[in-house]
Amino acid sequence: MRCLKACPTEAIRITDGTAYIQEHRCIDCGKCHEVCPAEAVYVNQDDFGMVHTFPHSVALIPAVFLGQFPEDIRVSRIYDALMELGFRHVFEVESGANIFAEAKEKYAREHDDIRPMISSFCPAIVRLIQIKYPSLVENIFPIKAPLDLSALYCIQELQNRGIPREEIGLFYVTPCAAKIAAVKAPIGEKRSIIDGVINMDSLFNLTYRKIKEQGKKYIPHQSRTINLSSDAILSTLTNGERRICLAKKSYAIDGIQNVMDFLDKLENDEVEDVEFLELRACDQSCAGALLSYENRFLCGARMYARARKAAERERNGEVPRDRDMDKMKDFLLDNSTVEPPQPRSMFVLDKDRSKAFEKMERINRLKERLPQIDCGLCGAPTCESFAGDVVINRIGLSRCIFYQRHLERKDDITRQECIAAMNAVWGKDDRMKEE
């Protein structure tokens, strides 16, 4: 029942002893994966062999990927190891952070009647708002994330070198399941230009093993590393966007439950005069993402150390390499918007509005008859979600053990029928003999 209780959108139900995820409610936040002791929930990735099918395969790595490695391993050595694994080019996706910030500022100026504006950086948050807070959907920036802007830049840059698009393979190293969904089923676009997704923990293991194999025999290849600006490095952490935004009043909130608590207040008009919200589903943002190998605080500390070195270089007059994207700024800004996200209902009672209202009233009446302790023994996470499942005829009311006791007192149900109802939820244990 841990996954049942952890899901922020109540997407999980238990039937016949197995937890099932209702896809129309799922936001790919990965909370079920985090709490499952049996590792029954896993995150798919594309076959790594795809990397070798493109003459020019590009590893699109997030800054948190570099934060997984001990500080004594230089960035250039990580780049070299990735090259030896089969990538032809390595590019850090936070390179697009400054273009992303400019695109947001431009959109905010053109739409000053919409406040607060909500960042589109975290796809789990975008899906959460679509499902659970549909009244706030229009507040989300319809702007491509830095990942997509960097991917677009990579394609244009390589094509300018005379490399055909069909020879370019873009592979994103993802720190979370939500960004896999953002690539496989992007919001506001028909399809992503990224060709494959590799889980960050999986690639970290491959890369770290390669570095260990090299040992003292390692010979630097002088890989062309990207010296990001300090702002770009920190953009993926909590407060990363907020620290460079121009809004007078803004908040940075991480952790899915913290975000939901704040959005509840926002919907109830308990928060006023906010211009910008940076919302992230994971604690410590991407440093605490689902597919991180390293402790989120250690990862964050390494990223801050890298950002301090970058800031020192900037004070000494060095221009960060991520500013190379400025030569395509107009092109990237012109192609930075997507179709605005739309509400995504997770609970359609009926297509007929009058019947839907009637069912809603039935749910409310049924809720009053239930114990309201959200025990989960019925296979639904809450009494409210159980009432909804009953009204739309997904399950029977007899699955509630408290209602069973009520029926037993009235002799309206037998002990065998009670056992059968529980078996329908938790599965039949052949070791137990029914009386």
Express each pLDDT in 248-286 by its tens digit. Answer: 899 999 999 999 999 999 999 999 899 999 999 999 999
User: What does the pLDDT look like over 347-390, one tens digit per residue?
Assistant: 777 788 898 889 899 999 998 889 999 999 999 999 999 999 99
Q: Is the pLDDT of residue 225 over 80?
A: no
Q: Is the pLDDT of residue 195 over 50?
A: yes
**211-233 core/surface letters (b: 16 or more CB in 10 A; e: else):** beeeeeeeeeeebebbbbbbbbb
Asked if 330 and 353 sit in the same domain, the reply is no
59: left (phi over 0), alpha (psi -120 to 50) or beta: beta
Least confident of 20-24, 159-163, 235-239, 251-255: 20-24
Give the pLDDT confidence score for residue 342 in this predicted structure: 92
Residue 419 lies in a domain: yes
Would you say 7 and 177 are in contact if contact means Cβ atoms under 8 Å apart?
Answer: no
Residue 326 lies in a domain: yes
> What integer best gives the mean pLDDT of the chain?
91
User: What does the pLDDT look like over 174-189, one tens digit per residue?
Assistant: 999 999 999 999 988 9
Give the pLDDT confidence score for residue 163 in this predicted structure: 97
Asked if 287 and 376 sit in the same domain, the reply is no
User: What does the pLDDT look like over 15-30, one tens digit per residue?
Assistant: 999 999 998 899 999 9
Give the pLDDT confidence score for residue 434 in this predicted structure: 47
Average pLDDT over residues 117-124: 96
Q: With both helix axes pointing from N to C terminus, report the angle between 177-184 and 123-132 in degrees, rounded to the nearest 10.
A: 80
- Rounded distance between C-alpha atoms, residue 28 and residue 141, angstroms: 20
Q: Is the pLDDT of residue 429 over 80?
A: no
Would you say 290 and 318 are in contact if contact means Cβ atoms under 8 Å apart?
Answer: no
Asked if 261 and 388 sit in the same domain, the reply is no
Of the candidates 300, 334, 368, which is a domain's last residue?
334
Average pLDDT over residues 203-226: 82
114 or 431, higher pLDDT = 114
Residue 434 lies in a domain: no
Asked if 231 and 288 sit in the same domain, the reply is yes
Least confident of 101-115, 176-190, 193-207, 421-435: 421-435
Residue 141: CB atoms within 10 Å: 25
Asked if 209 and 273 sit in the same domain, the reply is yes
Would you say 104 and 245 are in contact if contact means Cβ atoms under 8 Å apart?
Answer: yes
Query: Which among 8, 318, 32 has a CA at the least distance from the CA of 177?
Result: 32
Torsion angle in degrees (nearest 10) through CA of 28, 34, 35, 40: 80
Q: Which two tokens stand for residue 214?
A: 């090299």
DSSP 320: P
Would you say 389 and 395 are in contact if contact means Cβ atoms under 8 Å apart?
Answer: yes
Asked if 78 and 195 sit in the same domain, the reply is yes
Asked if 321 and 371 sit in the same domain, the reply is no
- Rounded distance between C-alpha atoms, residue 56 and residue 40, angstroms: 36
Q: Which residues contact 190 (CB under 8 A, 6 or more apart)?
A: none
Asked if 276 and 388 sit in the same domain, the reply is no
- Rounded distance between C-alpha atoms, residue 296 and residue 233, angstroms: 15
Give the pLDDT confidence score for residue 43 in this predicted structure: 87
Residue 266 lies in a domain: yes
Residue 24 lies in a domain: no
Average pLDDT over residues 104-129: 95
Asked if 272 and 184 sit in the same domain, the reply is yes
Give the pLDDT confidence score for residue 435 in this predicted structure: 43
331 or 214, higher pLDDT = 331
Give the pLDDT confidence score for residue 431 in this predicted structure: 46
Give the pLDDT confidence score for residue 48 in this predicted structure: 93
Q: Where are the alpha helices (DSSP H) in 254-341?
A: 256-267, 296-315, 329-334
DSSP 155: H
Q: What's the pLDDT band for 293 if we cut at 50, 70, 90? A: very high
Residue 339 lies in a domain: no
User: What does the pLDDT look like over 412-421, one tens digit per residue?
Assistant: 889 899 999 9
Residue 273 lies in a domain: yes
DSSP 374: -
Q: Is the pLDDT of residue 430 over 70?
A: no
79 or 245, higher pLDDT = 79
Asked if 262 and 318 sit in the same domain, the reply is yes
226 or 144, higher pLDDT = 144
Domain count, the chain: 2
Query: Which among 11, 329, 263, 311 has a CA at the least distance from the CA of 122?
Result: 263
Asked if 377 and 294 sit in the same domain, the reply is no
Of the candidates 308, 334, 360, which is a domain's last residue?
334
- Rounded distance between C-alpha atoms, residue 194 and residue 148, angstroms: 8
Domain around 86: 48-334
Average pLDDT over residues 23-41: 91
Q: What's the pLDDT band for 115 if we cut at 50, 70, 90? A: very high
Give the pLDDT confidence score for residue 323 in this predicted structure: 83
- Rounded distance between C-alpha atoms, residue 252 and residue 235, angstroms: 12
- Rounded distance between C-alpha atoms, residue 257 and residue 290, angstroms: 16
Q: In the chain, pLDDT over 70 holds for what percent of residues?
A: 97
Asked if 204 and 132 sit in the same domain, the reply is yes
Q: What's the pLDDT band for 320 if we cut at 50, 70, 90? A: confident
Residue 397 lies in a domain: yes
Query: Which among 88, 107, 154 has a CA at the least distance from the CA of 322?
Result: 154
